[in-house]
C-alpha cells in the first residue's frame, strides 16, 4: 500500500538578477509501507532538493508546486501548517553530513533527547530511557549517551544521527547520502543497520545516493534522476540487467565493479544548466543514441513493463519495431 | 623466510630498478601534551602514522595504496615525495638515496615528483586562470627558455591532460570549469615539469561518477606512455582493481598485503584484505550478499596492539598472533604476491 506519494513535484530557486533555477522538474515517486527505495543521480540532479521538499525544509528562496501525499493527506496543501504535524513524527530525515553536524559541546545523549522533549514524546526520566532505547536500537551502548561527539568514531556519529532521526518513531526515513565519506567497512555496517531497521520496525526507507552499488545491495526499487527529472524507475534488478534509459545504462557502466572485467566508461559532457529552458530531452547532448526527435520533444516517463518506467523515445521506437532498446 | 624486497623482485623476474622505493619507512607525529601535561612532565608521546613501510613504484607502473582513513596511506605518499620527513627508513629515487636531501638538491628532486590532490575545488587558486595555474611550476623552477617555450609547454601539458584544444581553457578560472575539468587542470599543472613520479591522493573521490573513469583513464594513459610511475592513494578497492597494476593494502601504518591487482582482489591472502573486499558492495543486485563486517573500529595508532596489529579484529587470530609481528612474505600463487600474516 502506498504510504508516501510525491506527485508532479516542482521546485524553483530564485537566484540573483531575477533568474530562476528549476531544480526539480515534475517528479513522481511513490513508496509503499516498509519498502526500501533508492533515489540515485549525480550532484546537482535534484535528489537532495526533492527530499528536502518532502520535509518542508527548503530555503526561503525556493518555491514548490505539486503534491506530497502521506497516507493520502497532502503535506503541501496549507504549507507549513499542514507539514508541521508530520515532520519528524511521520517523516524524518538523516541529512547529508549529519555525522559532522553534531554539537561538539553537548553530549550525544542530550542531543538525541532534545527532539524527544521538543515533540512532546516524553519528558524527564522517560525521555532519558527513550534515549537509551534509541542508542541501543542503532547499536550503541546506552551508557555511551553521556559521551561527546569527538569521543565517537565516524561510524558511531552516523549511528547517533540515525537515532536522532528516529526519536519520534517516524514511518518514513529519508537518508541523504548516509554512507558517503565513510570507509567501506563502516559503510557496510551502516547499510546493515538501515536494512535491519526497515525489516524490524517496518520503516519505509528512501535512500538518496550517487553510489549505485549501495542501492543495488539494499533497495528493491530505485529511481534515477537527471536534470531535475526522474528518467527511469523500477525494480533495481531490471534497472541493472535491462536498463531502458541510456543514462541508467551508462551510469552503471561508469561504476567500477570489484571483480567485473568490463571497461569502465565515462559519460562525455555535463548536465544542462537548469536556470534556462531545456529543449527536448535533457540527456540528448550526452546521449550516444540520440536522434532528431530527442532534440525536439522531452520524452515522458512511460511504462516499459509492469513496474518499470523510463523517459526515452527509443522505447517507443523499439516497441513499434518489436525489439529491445539496446 | 624474511624476504628482502630487492631479492624478491629479482626472484620475481623484475630486474629493473624501481623508480622510487622506500624501505622500513617510519613517520611519526608528536602528540600535543597540553600545558598541564608539559608542567607535569608527562612523557612526550607520538603517533606512528607510518610504521615500517616497504613500497616501490616502477617506471610505467600504477600502484594503488589502499586502506581505511587514518591507516597512513597519505602520509606514506607525502614521505615518498619528501613532503614530510621520515624518522627512519630510506627512500631511493632512481637509484639515488634521497632520504636526507635538502636545499637545492631537494628542489631539484621536487621537479621530478609531483602530487595530485583529492579536491580540485580547493587545490586550484580561484583567482588564477588555467594559464597561470599551469605555468606557475615552470616559473618557479625556471624551466622555460623563453615566453614561446613556456606557452608551448603549457599547451602541451593541457592537451596531455585531455583539455583539447588548450586555447579553449587557457583564460578560464576554476569556477568556469566542471569538476572533471578542474582535476584535469590540476593534473596538467603537475605534468608540466615532466615529472617521473606522480602521487595521486584520491584523485577522483570528489568527482561525479560519470567523469571519474575519464580522469582515471587519463592517468592510465600517462603511465602506459612509458616512463611515468604513479602511486594512487585510494579507499576505493573497485577503482584500484580496475586501474592499478599492483595493489598495496595498508593497515595501521603497515603494508599487510601487496601484489598484482588481480591476485590481491581475486585471491586475497591477509584476513584484513579479505574483510575489506567482502565489504565492497557488488554492482549487480543479483550478487547480493551478507556483508562480513569486522567487529570493532580501527585501533588508535597511538596504542598499536602487540604482535600482529590486526589481531584484535582478526576473525582467525591465534594465540601466537598476539606475540609475533609478521613480516611481508610470499603468499598465494601469484608472482610478487606478499602478505604479512603468520597463517599464510
Asked if residue A212 has pLDDT above 90, the reply is: yes
Mean of the pLDDT values across residues B140-150? 93
- Measure in Å the smallest separation between the Cα of A25 and chain B Cα atoms: 21
Chain-centre distance for alpha carbon B26 = 15
pLDDT of residue B37: 76
Average confidence score pLDDT of chain A: 93
pTM, full prediction: 0.89
pLDDT of residue B15: 43
Residue bearing the bigger pLDDT, A259 or B26: B26
Choose the weakest-confidence range: A28-32, A61-65, B41-45.
Answer: B41-45
Q: In this complex, is the C-beta atom of A195 within 8 Å of any C-beta atom belonging to chain B?
A: no
**DSSP single-letter state for residue B322:** G
Per the CB < 8 A criterion, the answer to whether A135 and A160 are in contact is yes
pLDDT level of residue A322 (50, 70, 90 thresholds): low
Residue B57 dihedral angles phi and psi, to the nearest 5°: -130, 130
Other beta carbons within 10 angstroms of residue A20's beta carbon come to 14
pLDDT level of residue B289 (50, 70, 90 thresholds): confident
**DSSP single-letter state for residue B165:** S
pLDDT tens digits for range B49-103: 999 999 999 999 999 999 998 899 999 999 999 999 999 999 999 999 999 998 8
Q: Do A267 and B211 touch (CB under 8 A)?
A: yes
pLDDT of residue B10: 46
Mutate to test the interface with A, among B66, B284, B286, B287 (most CBs of A within 10 A): B284
Could you give the 3-state DSSP secondary structure of residue B29? strand
Q: In terms of CA atoms, which chain A residue is nearest residue B266?
A: A259
Helix (H) or strand (E) holding B108: helix B103-110
pLDDT of residue A243: 97
Asked if residue B164 has pLDDT above 60, the reply is: yes
Asked if residue B7 has pLDDT above 80, the reply is: no
Residue A14 dihedral angles phi and psi, to the nearest 5°: -80, 130
Four-CA torsion A92, A93, A94, A96, nearest 10 degrees? -170
* Predicted ipTM of the assembly: 0.88
Contacts B235 to A, Cβ<8 Å: 183-184
Long-range contacts made by residues B30-33, C-beta under 8 angstroms, separation at least 24? B31/B302
Mean of the pLDDT values across residues A137-160? 94
Q: Give the orientation angle of helix A124-137 with respect to helix A154-165, to 10 degrees.
A: 130
pLDDT of residue B183: 92
Q: Do A184 and B235 touch (CB under 8 A)?
A: yes
Could you give the 3-state DSSP secondary structure of residue B48? strand
Q: Do A217 and B69 touch (CB under 8 A)?
A: no
Return the HEC string of B288-321: CCCCCCCCCCCCCCCCCCCCCCCHHHCCCCCHHH
Residue bearing the bigger pLDDT, B15 or B29: B29
Q: Spell out the residues 6+ positions from residue B33 whose beta carbon is closer than 8 angstroms to its own.
A: B42, B44, B45
Contacts B286 to A, Cβ<8 Å: 237, 240-241
Residue bearing the bigger pLDDT, B14 or B262: B262
Q: In this complex, is the C-beta atom of B205 within 8 Å of any C-beta atom belonging to chain A?
A: no
pLDDT tens digits for range B96-111: 999 999 889 999 999 9
pLDDT tens digits for range B183-239: 999 999 999 999 999 999 999 988 888 889 999 999 999 998 778 999 999 999 999
Q: In this complex, is the C-beta atom of A42 within 8 Å of any C-beta atom belonging to chain B?
A: yes
Q: Do A257 and B210 touch (CB under 8 A)?
A: no
pLDDT level of residue B16 (50, 70, 90 thresholds): low
Contacts B242 to A, Cβ<8 Å: 256, 264
- In order of A65, A74, A84, the CA distances from A77 in angstroms are 10, 5, 12
Asked if residue B1 has pLDDT above 60, the reply is: no
- Please give the class, per CATH, of domain B5-112+195-339: alpha beta
Asked if residue B130 has pLDDT above 50, the reply is: yes
Q: What percent of chain A has pLDDT over 70?
A: 98
Select from A188, A236, A251 the Cβ nearest to the Cβ of B285.
A236
Asked if residue B344 has pLDDT above 70, the reply is: yes
Mutate to test the interface with A, among B285, B288, B291, B314 (most CBs of A within 10 A): B285
pLDDT of residue B2: 42
pLDDT tens digits for range A87-98: 999 999 999 888
Contacts A254 to B, Cβ<8 Å: 209-210, 212-213
Give percent helix, percent strand, percent coil of chain B, each to the nearest 5: 35, 20, 45
Select from B209, B266, B277 the Cβ nearest to the Cβ of A254.
B209
Residue A55 dihedral angles phi and psi, to the nearest 5°: -80, -10
Asked if residue B155 has pLDDT above 90, the reply is: yes
Asked if residue A100 has pLDDT above 50, the reply is: yes
Contacts A256 to B, Cβ<8 Å: 213, 236, 238-239, 241-243
Asked if residue B149 has pLDDT above 80, the reply is: yes
pLDDT of residue A207: 98
Long-range contacts made by residues A80-84, C-beta under 8 angstroms, separation at least 24? A80/A56, A83/A55, A83/A56
Strands A73-74 and A62-70: antiparallel
Mutate to test the interface with B, among A45, A183, A222 (most CBs of B within 10 A): A183
- Measure in Å the smallest separation between the Cα of B14 and chain A Cα atoms: 26
Mean of the pLDDT values across residues A141-157? 94
Per the CB < 8 A criterion, the answer to whether A154 and A186 are in contact is yes
Asked if residue B128 has pLDDT above 80, the reply is: yes
Select from A211, A213, A251 the Cβ nearest to the Cβ of B210.
A251
pLDDT level of residue A321 (50, 70, 90 thresholds): low
pLDDT tens digits for range B244-278: 999 999 999 999 999 999 999 999 999 999 999 99
The sign of the CA dihedral B220, B222, B228, B232 is negative
Amino acid at each position: 500500500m502506498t504510504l508516501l506519494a510525491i506527485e508532479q513535484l516542482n521546485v524553483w530557486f530564485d537566484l540573483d538578477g531575477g533568474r530562476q533555477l528549476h531544480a526539480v522538474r515534475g517528479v513522481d515517486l511513490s513508496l509503499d509501507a516498509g519498502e526500501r527505495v533508492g533515489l540515485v543521480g549525480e550532484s546537482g540532479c535534484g535528489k537532495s532538493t526533492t527530499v528536502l521538499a518532502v520535509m518542508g525544509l527548503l530555503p526561503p528562496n525556493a518555491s514548490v508546486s505539486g503534491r506530497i501525499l502521506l497516507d493520502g493527506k497532502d503535506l503541501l496543501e496549507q504549507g507549513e501548517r499542514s507539514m508541521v504535524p508530520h515532520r519528524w513524527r511521520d517523516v524524518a530525515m538523516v541529512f547529508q553530513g549529519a555525522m559532522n553536524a553534531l554539537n561538539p559541546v553537548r553530549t550525544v545523549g542530550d542531543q538525541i533527547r532534545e527532539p524527544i522533549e521538543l515533540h512532546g514524546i516524553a519528558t524527564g526520566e522517560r525521555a532519558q530511557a527513550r534515549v537509551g532505547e534509541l542508542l541501543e536500537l542503532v547499536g550503541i551502548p546506552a551508557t555511551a549517551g553521556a559521551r561527546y561527539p569527538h569521543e565517537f568514531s565516524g561510524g558511531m556519529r552516523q549511528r547517533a544521527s540515525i537515532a536522532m532521526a528516529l526519536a519520534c518513531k517516524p514511518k518514513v526515513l529519508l537518508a541523504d547520502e548516509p554512507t558517503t565519506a565513510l570507509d567501506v567497512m563502516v559503510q557496510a555496517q551502516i547499510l546493515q543497520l538501515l536494512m535491519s531497521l526497515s525489516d524490524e520496525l517496518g520503516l519505509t526507507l528512501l535512500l538518496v545516493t550517487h553510489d549505485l552499488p549501495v542501492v543495488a545491495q539494499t533497495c528493491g526499487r530505485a529511481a534515477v534522476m537527471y536534470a531535475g527529472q526522474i528518467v527511469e524507475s523500477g525494480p533495481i534488478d531490471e534497472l541493472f540487467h535491462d536498463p531502458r534509459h541510456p543514462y541508467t545504462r551508462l551510469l552503471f557502466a561508469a561504476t567500477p565493479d570489484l571483480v567485473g572485467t568490463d571497461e569502465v566508461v565515462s559519460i562525455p559532457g555535463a548536465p544542462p544548466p537548469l536556470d534556462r529552458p531545456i529543449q527536448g530531452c535533457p540527456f540528448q547532448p550526452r546521449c550516444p543514441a540520440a536522434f532528431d526527435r530527442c532534440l525536439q520533444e522531452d520524452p515522458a516517463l512511460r511504462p516499459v513493463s509492469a513496474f518499470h518506467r523510463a523517459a526515452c523515445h527509443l522505447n517507443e521506437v523499439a516497441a513499434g519495431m518489436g525489439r529491445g532498446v539496446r | 623466510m624474511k624476504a628482502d624486497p630487492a631479492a624478491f623482485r629479482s626472484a620475481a623476474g623484475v630486474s629493473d630498478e624501481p623508480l622510487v622505493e622506500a624501505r622500513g619507512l617510519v613517520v611519526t607525529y608528536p602528540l600535543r601534551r597540553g600545558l598541564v601535561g608539559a608542567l607535569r612532565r608527562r612523557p612526550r608521546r607520538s603517533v606512528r602514522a607510518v610504521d615500517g613501510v616497504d613500497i616501490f613504484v616502477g617506471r610505467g607502473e600504477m600502484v594503488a595504496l589502499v586502506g581505511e582513513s587514518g591507516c597512513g596511506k597519505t602520509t606514506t605518499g607525502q614521505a615518498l615525495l619528501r613532503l614530510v620527513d621520515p624518522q627512519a627508513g630510506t627512500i631511493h629515487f632512481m637509484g639515488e638515496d634521497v632520504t636526507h636531501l635538502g636545499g637545492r638538491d631537494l628542489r631539484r628532486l621536487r621537479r621530478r615528483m609531483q602530487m595530485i590532490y583529492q579536491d580540485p575545488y580547493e587545490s586550484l587558486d580561484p583567482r588564477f586562470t588555467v594559464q597561470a595555474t599551469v605555468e606557475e611550476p615552470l616559473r618557479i623552477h625556471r624551466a622555460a627558455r623563453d615566453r614561446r617555450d613556456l606557452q608551448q609547454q603549457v599547451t602541451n601539458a593541457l592537451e596531455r591532460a585531455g583539455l583539447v584544444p588548450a586555447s579553449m581553457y587557457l583564460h578560464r578560472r576554476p569556477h568556469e570549469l566542471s569538476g572533471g575539468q578542474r582535476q584535469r587542470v590540476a593534473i596538467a599543472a603537475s605534468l608540466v615539469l615532466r615529472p617521473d613520479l606522480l602521487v595521486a591522493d584520491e584523485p577522483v573521490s570528489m568527482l561525479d561518477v560519470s567523469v571519474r573513469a575519464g580522469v582515471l583513464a587519463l592517468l592510465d594513459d600517462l603511465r602506459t606512455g612509458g616512463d611515468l610511475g604513479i602511486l594512487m592513494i585510494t579507499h576505493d578497492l573497485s577503482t584500484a582493481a580496475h586501474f592499478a597494476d599492483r595493489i598495496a593494502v595498508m593497515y595501521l601504518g603497515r603494508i599487510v598485503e601487496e601484489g598484482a591487482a588481480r591476485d590481491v582482489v581475486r585471491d586475497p591472502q591477509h584476513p584484513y584484505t579479505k574483510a575489506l573486499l567482502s565489504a565492497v558492495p557488488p554492482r549487480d543486485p543479483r550478487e547480493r550478499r551478507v556483508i562480513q563486517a569486522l567487529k570493532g573500529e580501527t585501533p588508535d595508532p597511538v596504542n598499536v596492539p602487540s604482535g600482529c596489529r590486526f589481531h584484535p579484529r582478526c576473525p582467525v587470530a591465534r594465540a601466537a598472533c598476539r606475540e609475533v609481528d609478521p613480516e611481508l612474505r610470499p603468499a598465494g600463487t601469484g608472482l610478487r604476491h606478499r602478505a604479512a600474516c603468520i597463517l599464510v
